[in-house]
Structure 1
Amino acid sequence: MIKINLPLMFFSTLLFAHQPALALSDMQMQEKVLKTRESTSQPHMDHSAHDKAPDQSQTFHGVFYGFLPCDDCDGLKMTLSLKQNNNYLLVSQYAKESSREFYEKGKYTWDEKTRTVVLTPRKDAAIRQFRIEDEGTLVQLDSKGAPMPGNQESYTLRRSDTVKSRQVHIH
């Protein structure tokens, strides 16, 4: 009796061992049928957009620091945070005895052709523009998008990961 059951047990073991392979190929076949069905039912879909590079404006972000000149003060400490969702926060502090900080929030746009970042505030404030020198450096422009008068290095903001210290000293 054991001799008769032994081949039956061996055959059933082989059958169960091959079952996951059959199930996997069955799943693959279902996926193939589904893809074919989608492509024939939606021939007007253009999937070439998936191959395009991501929008660089979505990757241009960070925290930028600088100490800029000021007409009626000793200088202006500026921290600009460009966030991934195209929101910005600009924190300014005049070089005076008071340590009061001024906050400005809004949206920013990034133009690769003109290499500029334009800050549009939420409240009634002037639109600001910066020229992109490289991924870690912004240079402030005037209200018309022209370079500021004088030394351009004085109007530079540097991204936090490109400078050794995050501290900007006000004298």
Structure 2
Amino acid sequence: MFAAALLGGCGRAPDPAASAADDGAAPGEAAAPLGDEAFETAWLGVLPCADCDGIQTRLQLHEEGSERRYELEETYLGAPGDNVFVTEGDWVQETRRGDGETATLFRLDPQGPDRWFELRADGSLEMLDGEGRPLEGALAYRLQRL
């Protein structure tokens, strides 16, 4: 529900015909899935927003053993009042194959309203729509790895 509200509040509708921006990686250079060892990884960026100056977004993925948790902090820039929202939950890693390429996807809250991110070859994350498809103007929906 939050993902739908976020996308709706930002005035962006997913375009089913949109394709992911070309990141220049050869098919064999797709980002490798994360390993089985314990880790904590974070990404940061400012995502578009229709009624504010942007949404500063920080996503942290934690994994230890079989436990996978995330923390997503979103700050609505230039918005009055309480403009910081923190969401926590579970995440899963999935692999998507198509057009001769393999992509690593992170899906937040798989038992609830999904939020999808694709790991790009350069280490950045691209936010996807609720169906796991690229959004129009995908470069604007990127978080850089910290």
Normalising by the residue count of structure 1, what TM-score does the alignment of the two structures yield? 0.53
Q: As a proportion of its length, which structure holds more strand?
A: 2
Gaps of 5+ in 2: 1-33, 97-102
Q: As a proportion of its length, which structure holds more helix?
A: 1
Q: Shift of residue 58 of structure 1? A: 4.7
- Give the structure with higher Rg (CA): 1
Of residues 75, 80, 94, the one that matches 1:93 is 75
Q: Is the Cα–Cα contact under 8 Å of residues 61 and 84 in structure 1 kept in the other structure?
A: yes
Q: Name the counterpart of 2:93.
A: 110
Gaps of 5+ in 1: 1-54, 161-171
Of residues 138, 146, 159, the one that matches 2:133 is 146
Look up the SS of the partner of 2:120 in the other structure. Answer: strand
Q: Shift of residue 60 of structure 1? A: 6.5
What value does the CA root-mean-square deviation take over the aligned residues?
Answer: 2.5
- In structure 2, what is the Cα distance between the partners aligned to 1:75 and 1:146? 22
Percent of pairs with identical residues: 29
Number of residue pairs matched?
103
- In structure 2, what is the Cα distance between the partners aligned to 1:60 and 1:130? 18
Q: Is the Cα–Cα contact under 8 Å of residues 57 and 110 in structure 1 kept in the other structure?
A: no
Q: Name the counterpart of 2:21.
A: none
Normalising by the residue count of structure 2, what TM-score does the alignment of the two structures yield? 0.61
